[in-house]
Structure 1
Amino acid sequence: MPMTETEMMLKGYGLTTAEFFYGMPDYVHVLNSYIWQDYDIAPDHPKLFQFVEFWQRELDGPLHSVRFSHRKMIAPGEWQNVTGEFTLH
C-alpha cells in the first residue's frame, strides 16, 4: 500500500519541482519546457533521476537542461501526535 503524503513528509520526503528544457524532435534548435513535480528525498533525488533516465531512454526530444528546487514541507521533529487538549480559563 502506498504511503500518504503526510507519511512521506514525516519520513523526510519533500516536494521536488523540476523544469526540463528539451529540443523538439523535428526542430532540435527550438527549446520547449516541461514541468515535473513529485515527492523526493534530498540530496540524492532518486525519483528525479529515475525520470531523467526514462526521458533519455523513451522520449525523442533531447534534453538541453534541467533546473529544480526542493522544499521540505515539515520535518519529523516538527510534528506531534496530540491525543487530547485541556483549556484553562
Structure 2
Amino acid sequence: MPERSALELQLDGYGLTTAQILYRLPDHPTILQTYVWQDYDLAPDFPEMFGFLDFWNANLDGPLHSVRYTHQRLIKPGEFHRVDGEFALH
C-alpha cells in the first residue's frame, strides 16, 4: 500500500502527535536521556505511538522511564469545506 500524504492523513482525522520519551542509558541506568518522537496519529488510541513504544521495548536496550505526549488536530471539522465547483477567471 502506498504511503499516504500528510494532508490525506489529516483529512481522515489524524493529528500531529509529539512524544517526549525519557529513557535510561543501558550502561549508566541512573542517567536519563531524552528522545523526541513525532508522527501523525489517531487520538485517543494512538496506534502509531504505542506501536513505536512496543518496538522500543522489544528491540532497544534503553528501558523507558516516562513518556509525555501532546496531540493536535491540524485540520478541524469547521475549518475544511469541500468545494464542488471551480471558476476560472482571466
Scaled by the length of structure 2, what TM-score is found? 0.88
1: CA distance, partners of 2:41 / 2:80: 19
Name the structure 2 match of 1:5: 6
Name the structure 1 match of 2:82: 81
Counterpart mapping for 1:2-81 below 5 A: 2-81=3-82
Once the two structures are aligned, what percentage of the paired residues are identical?
A: 48
2: CA distance, partners of 1:45 / 1:73: 16
CA RMSD of aligned residues (A): 1.7
Scaled by the length of structure 1, what TM-score is found? 0.89
1: CA distance, partners of 2:44 / 2:53: 16
1: CA distance, partners of 2:32 / 2:3: 36
Unaligned runs of 5+ in 2: none
Q: 1:11 to 1:77 in 2, by over 3 A?
A: farther
1: CA distance, partners of 2:37 / 2:87: 41
